[in-house]
Amino acid sequence: MRNYVKETWITSGKIDDKRFHLSGVIIERECPNCKDMVEKDLSRDYLDFPPMNEEFKLQMYCGKCDHEFFITAQLKVKLEVYE
């Protein structure tokens, strides 16, 4: 009899997708320069080969003051198997 994993966290690696979209995910942050709210819609924008379960820098851009800044993000990946 084999032992089957029912749930596991994938500890490291990269998603091999240059344009990894997350439909319905919108990130909002305050621009550190002008304090306006900046939005990044991951249905339109994308993550470029994102690492799994590791922190990475995500670029944000404020169109109001033409300021580029970075935030820290983490894409957590978990596999669950149902019978």
Question: Is 5 domain-assigned?
Answer: no
Q: What is the pLDDT of residue 1?
A: 46
Question: Is 1 domain-assigned?
Answer: no
**3-class secondary structure, 61:** strand
Q: How many domains would you assign to the chain?
A: 1
Question: Is 83 domain-assigned?
Answer: no
* Residue 63 main-chain phi, psi, to 5 deg: -75, -25
Which domain covers residue 24, as residue numbers?
15-78
Per-residue pLDDT tens over the stretch 3-42: 555 556 666 677 777 788 889 999 999 999 999 999 999 9
Q: What is the pLDDT of residue 4?
A: 54
The whole-model pTM stands at 0.73
Question: Is 42 domain-assigned?
Answer: yes
Question: Is 9 domain-assigned?
Answer: no
